[in-house]
Amino acid sequence: MVKRVFSGVQPSGVLTIGNYLGAIRNFVKLQHEADCIFCVVDLHALTVPQDPKELHDATLDVARLFVACGIDPERATIFVQSHVAAHAELSWLLECNSYFGELRRMTQFKDKSAKNEVVTAGLFTYPVLMAADILLYQTDQVPVGEDQKQHLELARDIAIRVNSRFGQTFKVPEPYIPPRSAGGRIMSLVNPEEKMSKSSDDPKSYIALLDPPDVVRKKIRSAVTDSGREVKYDEVNKAAISNLLVIYSLCSGQPIEEIEKKYGDSGYGQFKKDLAEIIIETLEPIQKRFEELCKPGVIEEILQRGRDRVEALAAPTLEDFRRKLGLVQR
């Protein structure tokens, strides 16, 4: 049986090289071996205040970037979360099978509610909507970055709970998370203790997939480094250089040890210069394809086809769960 893969990306700003290396690159890989569904999770983005026009445009741009990064809409299914009402409906049904205590323990909620002035109820129940996204499609595998590990554990817990209470209803999904040295957690360019985040207020902390070459050069030039001169992978003592090494390695395809040997202790200058060019080369084809996908109607048609397919896939699982809960058939 072909495996089902599901993942989602929020249209909460520009996509970063962290999103690409931690998640989207693996989407591209998995489409050749699994039945893949990739979703632009606009309902998740609404959990923090959004400018409506920016949210609208970012939703289409994330879908375009999926395709521009190499997801083939003939192979994988791409759609917008809010286009399929079953997500919000299943989310409510699962909320009634989730506990306040387990949601309160989510570290992303703790971080985001400490940072944001407005803490919506949606921000609190966010991980249940994510569980609904995944469980609706009887998903086997969920490719995500390391920051989503706890949310995936919760999705598994909810699935196991529902199955034991009501009988087999949902497949229990497996995480697909790369180790840090393979992009699972790309760090901020200004603070290597924090993950690179597209919702950061400081654009110097991330490389956006649509950053033009001179912006990439500037951001890499100003990226913080560690003391010393040696280009060496050491997550504990050289967090900044280790992060740049991971980006270099994943963008160039060269193993980290080879890059360490190449630069040795000759200082960080040449290493950073070369890194900027390697990132630019990686982004160039993505940016070119993105331009083509901006023609009116192109992405809309792909999203319409995606929606049609997933609506049909979601319906039997939702109907089955409704029935098991005792809701009268419609």
Which residues have a catalytic role annotated?
112, 195, 198
Check residue 250 for interaction with ligand ATP (CB under 6 A).
no
Q: Contact letters (x/-) for ligand ATP, 131-150, by CB under 6 A?
A: -------------xx-xx--
With CB cut-offs between 5 and 8 Å by kind, which of ligand ATP, ligand LTN, none does residue 306 bind?
none
Residues 6+ apart with CB under 8 A from 276: 216, 217, 220, 221
Nearer to ligand ATP, 22 or 173 (CB): 22
SS3 195: strand
* The one segment of 112-120, 128-136, 247-255, 274-282 that binds ligand LTN by CB under 6 A: 128-136
With CB cut-offs between 5 and 8 Å by kind, which of ligand ATP, ligand LTN, none does residue 133 bind?
ligand LTN
Check residue 186 for interaction with ligand LTN (CB under 6 A).
no
CB atoms within 10 A of CB 313: 17
Asked if 203 contacts 209 with a C-beta cutoff of 8 angstroms, the reply is no
Residues 6+ apart with CB under 8 A from 178: 22, 26, 145, 146, 184
With CB cut-offs between 5 and 8 Å by kind, which of ligand LTN, ligand ATP, none does residue 134 bind?
ligand LTN
Check residue 196 for interaction with ligand ATP (CB under 6 A).
yes
Residues of span 36-65 touching ligand LTN by CB under 6 A: 41, 44
Number of residues that bind ligand LTN (CB under 6 A): 13
* The one segment of 6-14, 208-216, 297-305, 313-321 that binds ligand LTN by CB under 6 A: 6-14
With CB cut-offs between 5 and 8 Å by kind, which of ligand LTN, ligand ATP, none does residue 130 bind?
ligand LTN
Check residue 10 for interaction with ligand LTN (CB under 6 A).
yes
CA distances from 101 to 98, 114, 124, 226 (A): 9, 18, 11, 40
CA distances from 58 to 34, 47, 114 (A): 27, 15, 25
Cα–Cα distance measured from residue 230 to residue 265, given in angstroms and rounded to the nearest whole number: 4
* The one segment of 11-19, 120-128, 161-169, 231-239 that binds ligand ATP by CB under 6 A: 11-19
Cα–Cα distance measured from residue 298 to residue 64, given in angstroms and rounded to the nearest whole number: 9
For the chain, give the longest Cα–Cα distance: 72
CA 308 to chain centroid:
23
Cα–Cα distance measured from residue 141 to residue 298, given in angstroms and rounded to the nearest whole number: 29
Residues lying near ligand ATP in the complex (CB under 6 A): 9-10, 12, 18-19, 22-23, 144-145, 147-148, 183-186, 195-199
Query: Under the rule (CB under 6 A), what is the footprint of ligand LTN?
Result: 6-8, 10, 41, 44, 130, 133-134, 142, 144, 148, 151
